[in-house]
Structures are given as structure tokens and as C-alpha cells.
Structure 1
Amino acid sequence: MNSRPCSCPCSREGVRFLAVFLSGRARKDRVLTVDRLNELLLMGALVLLIAVVAVRLASRSGLPSLLIYLGIGVVIGQDGLGVRFDNAELTQVLGYAALVVILAEGGLGTKWHEIRPVVPAAAVLATAGVAVSVGITAAAAHYLVNLDWRQSLIIGAVVSSTDAAAVFSVLRKVPLPPRLTGLLEAESGFNDAPVVILVVALSASGHAERWYALLGEIALELAIGAAIGLAIGFLGALAMKHVALPASGLYPIAVMAIMVLAYAAGALAHGSGFLAVYVASVILGNAKLPHRPATRGFADGLAWLAQIGLFVLLGLLVTPHDLAGDIWPAVIVGLVLTAVARPLSVLLSLAPFHMSWRDQVLLSWAGLRGAVPIVLATIPMVTGVSESRRIFNIVFVLAIVYTLIQGPTLPWLARRLRLGDPEAPTDLGIESAPLERLRGHLLSVSVPEESLMHGVEVGELRLPAGAAVTLVVRDGKSFVPAPTTVLQRGDELLVVATDPVRDATEARLRAIGHGGKLAQWLGAGGRPGGGPGGPRKAP
């Protein structure tokens, strides 16, 4: 191996090697050496750091972060620094891997008690609703944009799937009622599976001569994926509860491995791997696993990494100067999808569930697109469908334009429809770390600015027997509180709870955060009329 000083990653040589490496056209004189590896690592680290800073900028400006990631890819690409990347097959493979991680993280954060009442509605919206959306969008692409039926049906199928990453990230910042949050999260977790099956079938044959056979295949793959996800999820949760690992850092790795196993097993069994990984992750996320906060943090970090890498790669794949002729077709198809197809699919799918018109309006507008449609648009490119590059360009422009419109306006629409209460007390942030040998838990409780725990004395918390506030951190100083210590905004509490009263302690703390001193009268949830038995008087 020839040794030489590392060149700057932005030099022509480094950029040329990156282009060759990404495109998979390496020659003997372009093999991956240590020096080349150093260049790639430096470029990758710089891209990641820029993307992390972009998250902060996006949160301040309200601009969806995915657009910034895509922009980074475009800047590095052919029309920017000159990296030529056109490997659609590699993008599809890496995109699938990223979607597995994104779905796994979303499932871990999904609360079963919120989605359980709306699972039937989400399942109908993710299947029958998708079929309605595909039909209407395909008709618009055929008659308004003059695409043939094969291309139109592929576009209709590709853009009919909501993006899990976009939905999970946006909804958790919008104070919506649990029924809507649960329905949208469940739909985004479910609808990737049937859409992937449909896009693959249409890209392979172009049409379904026996549509009933295609529907049967979709139903079978969904059933297999759901069954495998349930089995691996329950078995994995059982194993994690009874296996004592030598280091706490191994628990998040083991949980992530179980979820990836669910995807691989589902796919190899000719089922839906995407549905399998989502179902398994929901089960694991709602099980009382050791080191749950660490697992969530690990999965969240991996999901961010997957999103950044995926969006940058998709930005590299697109050629900006080729998009000009497809902007208006994308706007027209997206307008029909957003203003006609999505609302009709919501209206028809949810008719048996008697949802209010306000809920249906919000659900219609919250059908966010993002990376998923762009990744799915690589499938016809890999299979050699005619005009596949145009399909990709239309989907790319559509995803950018309507994400830019829908994402920032969703909180405004929720306020206009009077769904949720933006002035409601902020929920408490509670993390727990199990004390295996003591059979207890440490609860770390943050008191946010809007919490009604402000002004409550420690003795007035009335925690269950077996739980106690052991430490308070205020203004950077910690002290052991007395029963008469008055809690303040910004306080950090350390609560020790025995295993039998851990859940009751967390419920009580959340009730105090919402109801303050009146939580005993307002019920278990700390809200007027809050428990199953209605308001109850303090003993």
C-alpha cells in the first residue's frame, strides 16, 4: 500500500473517490485504503455535525429538518461539489435498513393505551384508505399529467403511504388528543407494509390481471408479518425481563437486535417485515423492560442517524437540473392527493367509526410525506420501469413541497379546530432506572414551567407507601427535602419507589403535575372528572 498524506475531503481527488465509492464502480486503483477511509470518515463526520446543528436551526425556524438533510445531499451532489451518485439499488437497500430503524424507534415510543382503541380504525385507514388514495391519485396522474396507467398507478401507490419519521417527529410536538395521536402513529406504522407490497407488484408486472390474487397476497403477507411480530415481541420482552446482562449498555443493543430480528424473520417468511418490526417494537416499548430510558435514548439516536443518512443519500441521488420539467406535474398530483384523495380516504375509511368532522379534517391534513415515498420511488428504478427517473423526480418534488406546507401548518390547524389545549400543563418528564438487587426504581422527575406541581409541598404529594422524594436539585444545588419543602418550576426530583408501587407512584406524580393540590379531588389523571369513577374526594 502506498503511503501518502491525507488529502482534504473537499479536494477534487477526495470528491472523485467518494463519487466512485458511492456509485459502486470501484477499480483497482480506487480500492478502499486507510487513507481513503480517513477521507470518508472525515466527510461523514462533517456531514453528521452539520446535520445535528441543522436540527437546532429547524426547531427554531419551524422548517422540517428533512429538507435541510436533503439540501445537504444536493449540495454534495452532482450540481454542487460534484459527487455523481446514481446507484438506485444501493439507495433502496440502505433506505429499507433506515426505515427498519425508524419504525423500531417509533414503535418503542408508541403508547399502547393510546392506540388500542383506534387500532381497527388505523388498520382500515392503512388498507382500504390506501386503496382509495391510490385510485384517485393514479387517475389524476393519468388524466392531468398524461402518464400511462402503469406509471400513474406506481406514483399513486408510492405517495399514498404516510411517512413514519415525519409523523412521529411532528405529532409529538403538537398537543393533540390521544385518540388522534394514536390513530396517526398507528396508521403510519401500518401503512408502509401494504404500500411496499403494492409498489413491488406494480413495478414487476405493471398491472394486476388478477386483482383479487394481489389482494390475497397482501393480506397473507400482512398476516404473516403481524404473527411474527407478535411472537418475537412477546418472546423478546419475556427474555429481557429474566436475563441479567453484565452491563446496562447491552440492554439497548439487545432490544434493537430483537426488533431487527423481527423484520428479518418476517421478510424471510414471505411476510411483511415492516409490519413485523413495528408490532414487535410496540410490544417491547410497552413492556416493563430494564433500563427503558436508556433503550429509548439509544433507539432515538439510531433513528436520527438513519434519517440523516437516508435523506442525505436521497439528496445525492436526485439531479436538481433535471427537476424543472417535473415541478408542475408534481404540484398537480400532490394537490389532488392532499385536497381530494387523502380527505376522501379518511371520510370513507372512518365512516363506520363515527369520528367528528374536526378530527377528520385534521387527519386529512396530517397525512405527511417524507422519506418513505422517495425510497419507494427507487423500486421502479431498480426493476427498470420505463420513465422511472421521471417517477422519482415527481415524487421527490411532491414530498418536498407538501412537507414544507403541511408540517409547519399542522399545529396552526389543530389550534383553529380547537383540538388539544396548547395552554394545558406540560406533562412531566419521568425516567426510571431499575435497582435489581433492591427490587426498586429510581424516578427522575423534571418539573417544567407550566406544571401545576409548582407550589406543592413534598408532603402534599401523598405518594403511595413505599415511595419517597429523596433528593431535590434546584439552581444547580441538591438537598434532601423536608415534608414542608415547596417545589418550584425547574426542580429536579429523585424519587425512590419499590417495585409494587412504581406505576402508582408515576401515575400520582403525573396527576399532581396536571392537577396540583387538587389532584386528589380531580381523579387519577389530575383532570376534572378524570378517573373511571369520576371525581373523588381526598381521604
Structure 2
Amino acid sequence: MSIELGLMLTGMLAIGFFAQWLAWRVKLPAILFLLLAGILLGPVGGVLDPDKLLGPLLFPVVSLSVALILFEGSLTLRFKELSGIGHVVRGLVSYGAIVALLLLAVAAHYFAGMGWDLALLFGALTCVTGPTVIVPMLRTLRPNARIANTLRWEGIVIDPLGALFAVLIYEAIVSRHQGHAIGIFLSTVLTGVVIGAVGAIVLAFLLRRQFIPEYLQNFGALAIVLLSFTLSNEIAHDSGLLAVTIMGIALGNMRDVHIDDILDFKEHLTVLLVSMLFILLAARLSWPLPPGMLWAGIAIFLAAQFIVRPITVIVSSLGSGMTWRERALMSWVAPRGIVAASVSALFSLRLAHLGVVGSEALVPLVFILIIGTVVLQSATARPLARWLKVAEPEPHGVLIFGSDAVARAIGKTLHEAGFRVLLADDDWDGIRRARMDGLHTFYGNPASAHADRHLDLIGIGQMLGLSTHRERNSLACLHYQQEFGREKVYRLRNLAPQETSHRAAFNDRLLVPALFEDTMTHMRFAELLVRGWRIKSTGLTATFDWPHFVEQYGSTSLLLFGVDEKGALRVAAERRELEPRPGWTVIVLVPPEAAPAN
């Protein structure tokens, strides 16, 4: 049995990795491939039987995994950001979410025959989108900035709020079916809130006072989260999920608590947990579905797609100034994701154990809605955006990894040339200086899971690796080659070719082409700026072409970029020599003695 368990877990890990990789490759939400893999392994192929494989461990494994997923999601809810997210987003995550919850409950009640208590729970679970499904879709969809920011922020904010709604409704259902009075329900909620708040305070105290060494902080946070979850459940049954949700929200909104590393760790852990968990959950589905279940699920999906979401968007966007075209696209895009799948499965297990009639329908109906929304919207949203004329044109903006003087100088010049520029780095001093220069910034590693959720790449089509960290530069370039394409990613050398081993030089060339001339390194560029060299933009004409520019500013001038007649950015890089023509704007690094005073 132990050999079989080890083999199956290893196989699930490999399949989960492949599903995540495939999702990254085709820019679709990973949950789609994970659920399909579980369905193929379980009800279709009969290879995986989670109940037989894990036995009594199934419920604890699912419970602890969902607890960590909810904690990680709730960490991202920052109340201070709510004031700046706009009227429509606030509507979508407040009264709009309540409208969606109620309408989805009505659909579940009348199409699937669910009791009103389970129907409300279904509505709470499925009114939630989330960044893990929205962000990959937006990268393929590429709508205008207003739509993209609204959908992205909706997913970020409603993810933990929707989980909180669902947990509270679940607690009410459990209390009613166990014959508890309203006082028991309130005490359960109070226990979850208190344990969650105390857990957040304790962890924040330990982090602020540095009682936990840095290399143990992730381990300590994990232990405290699971301890809070277990302790809350022991004091008041089923209050643990509320406790970890409150703990995450409280910790994420505390001042002077550095949780970025913990958040990164939890995001990596969540990827692993989600990959294994969703395969397990999908494999538990019975096939064929009970009579009428498939058609009920399809009817609910159609109602959610064509009735519930449009009404929600219309109600939430009243008085916002959004055009009907923007509202139409937003009404079409609302894929369901991790919270709906993971929490519904856990609730279904618990409610079935309590003997709640109809609870077995919760998971298949949620999964049908997830698969339906992801597949339909991924296939049709981009053509619809083009037809509605709310799609972004070809992205010409530039993502720059780095924030030192070189990155800021190049970024500022490109910004002044009319390109959208975004500087990303985890060097706070450099980011602060970039913001003072009027540049858009992202504080963090652009190749991290946190960046995948929060980095706004709308309008960005190229990436320049200008970081002083050679290895991280290479990793970021490799990461964004799949995002933008191999011809849209470049790096500035950290070492000259003669300073690099043959193997390292080959690897660098294999990854991404180097910027500018062969001898140009990051250090040399920085030294030239210190010595008074300046980056200059000049328009070329028939009477003042590139040879005339070189004659006036000297042959030592270094061509960096060109902007052609169509406004596209051309990059000077190895094996890609530019030949500027009249009508272009050239961006050149010129020596101080050659640059005339402005």
C-alpha cells in the first residue's frame, strides 16, 4: 500500500507540474488542465481513487490544504488599496457580489433543485473570480487599460471576500443542521475571528521583534497558520477556515510587518497544493453524473454567463462613465477559480458527513461552471474585444528589470519618447528614485509568483533586463520570453565577453541577445553616465539623416534605440544592427563634448 501511495503521489506531482507548465505555455488558467487531468485519471480512466488511496487522511489533507489556500489569498487583501480601485470595482466586490450571489442561488435552487441554504452557499462560492484565472486570461485578451485594471482588481479583492462570505454561510448551515441555536453559530464565528486575530498578532510580534531568524520565518508562519486552524476547530467545530481567513486579512493590513517573503513562500506552496488538490478533487467525481445533473449544471452555467454577470456589471457600473462596449466585454469575462473549486470540495465532504441532503451536487455543479466559463471565455473573449473595439493595439510598452541609474536613465528616455515604461525591481531605493522621476514602478521581483498576480502588463510588449544581478537578469529574461516572444526580450551584459567563461557566454547568448555593442556592459554604461555622457533623442529627416548625426555628435556615439515611422521601438542588439532611416527618431548615448547645450 505504501509503495502504491508513493507511486500515485509522485505521478500526481508530475501530472500537476505538466498541467501548470501547459497552462503557462498557452496562457490559460491552470485550474482548467488540473481539473481535466483529475477527471481523466479518476472517473474516466479509473486509475486514481482518492478515497481508497488516502482513506481517513483524505479529509485532513483537503482541510489543511484549503486552509493554506485561503490564508494565502486573504493576505493579498489590503484595505488601503480599496480607496484607489475605482467605483466599478467597489461595486463589483460589494453590492454587485451580493446581487451575483443571490441570482446564482436562485439558479441553483430552480435548475438543480437545491435547498435554499445550499443554494446560497453555491452562490457565495461561485460569485468569486480570482487573480489565478483572470490574469492569464487578460494576457491573451489584452483589453484596454480601464477594463483590464477593473477585472484584475475585482479578482484580487473578491477572492478573499468571497471566501469569507462562503465560510459564514457554511457555518450557518452546519449550525442549523446540527440543531444549534443562533448563539452557537455566533460563538463559532466569534471563535474564528478571535483565534485568527490573535494568530496574526502573535506572528506579527515575532516578525517585528525578529524572534524568528529569517531562514525560519516561512516555516514559523506555516506552523502558526496551521496551529490557529487546528486550535480554532478544537474550540468551536468548523471555525478554522474563518480563523485563517481573518488571520490573513489582519496580517496583510498590519503596518511595519514584512510579509513579502512569506507571501512568496505561500504562493509557491499554494501552486504545489493546488496542483495536487484539484487532481484529487476532480478524481472523486462520479461518472456518469447523476440523472439531470449535467443538464442542471449547463443551465446554471448559461444563466451565470448570460444573465447573472451582465446584471452584476450593469448594477455595479451605474454612474461610472464606462461605455456600453466596455460593459459588454466585462459582462462576458468572469471565470471562476481556485476558491470555488477548493472550498466547495471541502464543504461537500463535511456536509455529506453531516447528512445534508443535496450536498453531493455541490462539487459537480461548481466544476461544470468553472470549466464552462474558462473554456468559453478563453476562446471567445479576444475576438469579442476586437469586435467591440475595446482591445489594446499591439503593445509597444517596455518592462525594465532594474532601477539603478542606468535603468532609470533608459526608462525616462523611453517614457519621454511616448512609450509606456514600467520599472520593476526589489531595490526600494531605486524604485523610490524612479517614482520621483515620474516613472511607473513595481516593487518586487518581476519573475515571481507575486508579480504574476499583481504586475500590470497591459500595453507592455518588450522586456529589457537591466538588473545588476546577472543570474536574476537571466531568469527574468527567460520568464518573459514566453510572455512576449524571443524577439522581444533583451539584456544588458553584466560582464564583458572576455570576462565570461565560454560556457557562461554561450548560455547567455542562448537565453537572450545582449543590448547595444559587444563591449557595452552595465558597469561601463554607468561609468559613461557619471562622466557626463547623455542619452539624446533626435528625429531624422532627409536633410539630417543618420550619417549627419554621427558626423555632428561623433563616431563614439552609441545607438541604443530607434523609433520607426509607425511608432514601433527598434532595439540595437547583437546580431540586430539598426539602420536608421529618415522619419525615424534615434535614441543615442552621446559624449558630453559632442552634445550641444539644450
TM-score normalised by structure 2 residue count: 0.57
**What is the aligned counterpart of 2:374 among 382, 403, 407?**
403
Give me the whole-angstrom Cα distance separating, in 1, the residues matched to 2:18 and 2:70.
24
Given residue 388 of structure 1, which amino acid in structure 2 is its aligned partner?
A: S
Offset, 1:313: 1.1
Pair 1:424-2:397 in alignment:
yes
* Structure 1 residues 487 and 118, CA gap change in structure 2 (3 angstroms): same
Q: Quote the residue 2:258 is aligned against.
A: 289
Give me the whole-angstrom Cα distance separating, in 2, the residues matched to 1:362 and 1:273.
37
Q: Quote the residue 1:472 is aligned against.
A: 494
Q: Quote the residue 1:183 is aligned against.
A: 154
Matches for 1:157-168 after TM superposition, within 5 Å? 157-163=124-130, 165-167=132-134
CA-to-aligned-CA distance 1:318-354 (integer Å, 9 cap, x gap): 0232367422211111111222223323443565877
Matches for 1:10-29 after TM superposition, within 5 Å? 17=1
**What is the aligned counterpart of 1:254 among 220, 225, 242?**
220
Q: Quote the residue 1:276 is aligned against.
A: 246
Aligned partner of residue 494 in structure 2, secondary structure: strand
CA-to-aligned-CA distance 1:344-391 (integer Å, 9 cap, x gap): 234435658776656655554443323433442514423222243334
Offset, 1:402: 1.9
Pair 1:385-2:356 in alignment:
yes
* Structure 1 residues 75 and 423, CA gap change in structure 2 (3 angstroms): same
Offset, 1:473: 5.3
Q: Quote the residue 1:534 is aligned against.
A: none
Give me the whole-angstrom Cα distance separating, in 1, the residues matched to 2:355 and 2:154.
36
* Structure 1 residues 90 and 413, CA gap change in structure 2 (3 angstroms): farther
Kept after mapping to 2: 8 A contact 1:343/1:364 = yes
Aligned partner of residue 425 in structure 1, secondary structure: strand
Give me the whole-angstrom Cα distance separating, in 1, the residues matched to 2:320 and 2:230.
34
Matches for 1:430-469 after TM superposition, within 5 Å? 430-432=425-427, 450-451=462-463
Give me the whole-angstrom Cα distance separating, in 2, the residues matched to 1:305 and 1:453.
28
* Number of equivalenced pairs: 424
Give me the whole-angstrom Cα distance separating, in 2, the residues matched to 1:77 and 1:140.
28
Give me the whole-angstrom Cα distance separating, in 2, the residues matched to 1:263 and 1:174.
38
Given residue 287 of structure 2, which amino acid in structure 1 is its aligned partner?
A: P
Q: Quote the residue 1:196 is aligned against.
A: 167
Q: Quote the residue 2:527 is aligned against.
A: 483
* Structure 1 residues 349 and 307, CA gap change in structure 2 (3 angstroms): same
TM-score normalised by structure 1 residue count: 0.62
**What is the aligned counterpart of 1:376 among 331, 336, 344?**
344
Give me the whole-angstrom Cα distance separating, in 2, the residues matched to 1:161 and 1:369.
6
Aligned partner of residue 117 in structure 1, secondary structure: coil
* Structure 1 residues 221 and 334, CA gap change in structure 2 (3 angstroms): farther
* Structure 1 residues 171 and 69, CA gap change in structure 2 (3 angstroms): same
Aligned partner of residue 344 in structure 1, secondary structure: helix
Offset, 1:190: 0.8
Given residue 426 of structure 2, which amino acid in structure 1 is its aligned partner?
A: E
Kept after mapping to 2: 8 A contact 1:236/1:258 = yes
Pair 1:342-2:315 in alignment:
no
Kept after mapping to 2: 8 A contact 1:73/1:314 = yes
Give me the whole-angstrom Cα distance separating, in 1, the residues matched to 2:185 and 2:331.
28
Give me the whole-angstrom Cα distance separating, in 1, the residues matched to 2:317 and 2:461.
38
Pair 1:84-2:53 in alignment:
no
Identity %: 23
Offset, 1:311: 0.4
Given residue 77 of structure 1, which amino acid in structure 2 is its aligned partner?
A: G
Aligned partner of residue 426 in structure 2, secondary structure: strand
Kept after mapping to 1: 8 A contact 2:313/2:331 = yes
Offset, 1:152: 4.3
**What is the aligned counterpart of 1:301 among 260, 268, 288?**
268
Offset, 1:258: 4.9
Give me the whole-angstrom Cα distance separating, in 1, the residues matched to 2:389 and 2:225.
37
Q: Quote the residue 2:22 is aligned against.
A: 57
CA-to-aligned-CA distance 1:218-263 (integer Å, 9 cap, x gap): 8x988886776666546644532431655x4323223444555665
Give me the whole-angstrom Cα distance separating, in 2, the residues matched to 1:394 and 1:101.
24
Q: Quote the residue 1:532 is aligned against.
A: none
Quote the RMSD (CA, aligned, Å): 4.9
Kept after mapping to 2: 8 A contact 1:102/1:165 = no
Q: Quote the residue 1:75 is aligned against.
A: 40
Aligned partner of residue 55 in structure 1, secondary structure: helix
Kept after mapping to 2: 8 A contact 1:471/1:479 = yes
CA-to-aligned-CA distance 1:4-57 (integer Å, 9 cap, x gap): xxxxxxxxxxxxx4xxxxxxxxxxxxxxxxxx2x44223322321222122222
**Rg bigger for which structure?**
2
Q: Which runs of 5+ in 2 are unaligned?
A: 400-421, 430-442, 448-459, 467-491, 497-504, 509-513, 515-520, 536-568, 570-597
Kept after mapping to 1: 8 A contact 2:27/2:137 = no
Given residue 344 of structure 2, which amino acid in structure 1 is its aligned partner?
A: L
Offset, 1:310: 1.4
Offset, 1:312: 0.9
CA-to-aligned-CA distance 1:477-521 (integer Å, 9 cap, x gap): 976334327999xxxxxxxxxxxxxxxxxxxxxxxxxxx9xxxxx
Aligned partner of residue 276 in structure 2, secondary structure: helix
Q: Which runs of 5+ in 1 are unaligned?
A: 1-16, 18-35, 435-441, 455-469, 489-515, 517-538
- Select between 169-178 and 269-278 the one with higher mean Cα deviation: 169-178
